[in-house]
């Protein structure tokens, strides 16, 4: 229903679903990839703004036919984050010794390697990244290497040490700044993680940062109108959700345009309650997260600032930073490393925070 309705109105369809807007971001990426690789591109933004969807759309609809060589790795979709799985996301075993050239049957590319070389990499007798550079050097086409949910790498141990992420980032610097062999795009919603990178002077200097926000209000208003909602319904829904696309798609499943405004309000209030319960759940478990006993009070104090005046990371004391870190890690709040400003991940959390404060 949703897809058909919007398709008729001229919306793009991507994977059997409407694809909304993102003109600016698509053009940005197309232009970016035309240049010689110089820096790592970090794409970041609150959870569910559409980072993964955007990059997958660009790969499939804009780049694949233009002869780019693309290796795309989504670490959240990898079943188990281990060093071995990480290796297999780049390489597979060639069946015989003559078959070591690139495997061109894959949509997204992967390197073929002799079994004995692969074994040496697993045993760390050959450095994975040195081998990858050798492989990249062999490819003639313009290369793009994309990795989503990079923070997962932080948790992979190699020989009891957490060095993989550091090595990986060095490899990305080599690919871009040093050898200009490939574009590197790294995606994450976890900006506490990104902040560590942002504060590493070497990486900051060798990286670009692109924020992907929730869409503009006009775009969502138009989409809701195209779905058949009236102005009152639209205003109410945007007051709760802001402009987070996926929530409106879900809303359409539950409350149709012909349903009453009361039904819509009831649905949205339930969503808000849900968001509030997530906040309470975190505060209740403060011990697990090593939060202080007065986490509730501290949360109220910081939440008030977020709602009323805006909150900057640099104004926080150590205790407040710990608390905000947890809420950012849980993707209820969002922290922009470029400005230091902390905001709710989407408007529904702002509404939930307002309720939470009122009730205390």
Ligand X SMILES: Nc1ncnc2c1ncn2[C@@H]1O[C@H](COP(=O)(O)OP(=O)(O)O)[C@@H](O)[C@H]1O
Q: Rule CB under 6 A: which residues touch ligand X?
A: 17-22, 47-53, 189, 245-246
**Quick one: 174 or 195, whose CB is closer to ligand X?**
195
Write phi, then psi, for 163 (nearest 5 degrees).
-100, -5
From the list ligand X, Mg ion, none, which binds 71 (C-beta under 5 to 8 Å, kind-based)? none
Report d(CA 270, CA 259) in Å as an integer: 16
Cβ contacts of 357 within 8 Å, gap of 6 or more: 300, 303, 304, 307
What's the min distance (Å) between Cβ of 42 and ligand X?
13
For 67-78, b where at least 16 C-beta lie within 10 A, e where not — what string? ebbbbbbbbeee
With contact defined as beta carbons under 8 Å apart, do 96 and 170 qualify? Answer: no
For Mg ion, the closer of residues 77 and 358 by Cβ is 77
**Min. distance of Cβ 47 from ligand X in angstroms?**
5
Shortest gap between Cβ of 229 and ligand X (angstroms)? Answer: 17
Which CB, 48 or 82, lies closer to ligand X? 48
* Nearest residue (beta carbon) to Mg ion: 52
Give the CA-trace dihedral at 183, 187, 192, 196, to 10 degrees: -10
250 neighbors 55 (Cβ within 8 angstroms):
no
Among candidates 272, 324, 278, which has minimal Cα distance to 298? 324
Per partner kind, with CB cut-offs from 5 to 8 A, the member of Mg ion, ligand X, none near residue 122 is none
Minimum distance between the CB of residue 189 and ligand X, rounded to whole angstroms? Answer: 5
Kindly identify the residues of this chain, within the stretch 163-222, that bind Mg ion according to CB under 5 A.
none
Instruction: Give least dist CB 244 to ligand X, A.
Output: 8
Question: Two tokens at 313?
Answer: 């990371």
- Residue placing its CB nearer to ligand X in the complex, 144 or 212: 212
DSSP class of residue 158?
B
What's the min distance (Å) between Cβ of 331 and Mg ion? Answer: 11
C-alpha to C-alpha distances, 56 to 42, 70, 148, 165, 191, nearest whole angstrom = 15, 11, 10, 23, 21
246 makes contact, choosing from ligand X, Mg ion, none, with CB < 5 to 8 Å by partner type, with: ligand X
Q: Give the residue closest to ligand X by C-beta.
A: 50
> Which residue's entry shows tokens 């070591």?
100
Choose from Mg ion, ligand X, none: what does 29 bind? Cβ within 5-8 Å by kind: none
How near is the Cβ of 36 to Mg ion at its closest, in Å?
A: 27
**Contact string (CB under 5 A) for Mg ion, positions 25-64, x = contact:** --------------------------xx------------
177 touches which of Mg ion, ligand X, none (CB within 5 to 8 A by kind)? none
- Based on CB atoms, which residue is closest to ligand X, 69 or 335? 335
Looking at the Cβ atoms of 58 and 323, the one nearer to ligand X is 58
Is the CB of residue 30 less than 8 Å from the CB of residue 62?
yes
Q: Which residue do the tokens 């075993």 mark?
A: 93
Q: Which positions touch Mg ion (CB under 5 A)?
A: 51-52
């Amino acid at each position: 229903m949703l897809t058909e309705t919007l398709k008729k109105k001229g919306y793009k369809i991507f994977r059997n679903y409407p694809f909304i807007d993102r003109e600016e971001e698509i053009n940005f990426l197309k232009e970016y990839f035309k240049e010689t690789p110089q820096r790592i591109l970090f794409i970041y933004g609150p959870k569910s703004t559409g980072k993964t969807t955007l990059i997958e759309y660009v790969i499939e609809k804009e780049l694949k036919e233009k002869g780019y060589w693309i290796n795309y790795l989504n670490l959240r979709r990898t079943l188990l984050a281990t060093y071995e799985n990480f290796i297999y996301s780049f390489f597979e075993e060639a069946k015989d010794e003559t078959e070591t050239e690139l495997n061109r049957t894959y949509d997204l590319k992967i390197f073929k390697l002799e079994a004995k070389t692969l074994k040496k990499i697993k045993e760390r007798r050959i450095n994975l990244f040195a081998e990858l550079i050798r492989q990249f050097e062999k490819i003639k086409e313009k290369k793009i290497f994309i990795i989503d949910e990079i923070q997962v790498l932080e948790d992979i141990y190699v020989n009891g040490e957490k060095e993989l992420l550091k090595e990986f980032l060095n490899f990305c610097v080599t690919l871009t700044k040093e050898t200009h062999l490939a574009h590197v795009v790294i995606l994450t919603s976890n900006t506490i993680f990104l902040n560590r990178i942002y504060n590493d002077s070497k990486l900051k200097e060798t990286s670009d940062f692109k924020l992907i926000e929730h869409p503009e209000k006009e775009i969502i208003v138009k989409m809701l109108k195209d779905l058949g909602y009236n102005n009152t319904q639209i205003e109410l829904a945007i007051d709760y959700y802001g402009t987070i696309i996926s929530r409106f798609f879900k809303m359409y499943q539950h409350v149709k345009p012909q349903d009453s405004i009361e039904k819509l309000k009831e649905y949205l209030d339930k969503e808000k309650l849900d968001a509030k319960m997530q906040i309470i759940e975190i505060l209740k478990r403060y011990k697990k997260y090593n939060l202080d006993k007065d986490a509730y009070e501290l949360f109220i104090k910081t939440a008030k600032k977020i709602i009323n005046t805006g909150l900057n990371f640099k104004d926080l004391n150590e205790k407040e930073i710990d608390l905000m870190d947890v809420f950012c890690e849980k993707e209820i709040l969002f922290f922009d490393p470029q400005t230091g400003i902390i905001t709710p991940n989407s408007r529904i959390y702002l509404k939930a925070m307002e309720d939470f404060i009122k009730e205390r």
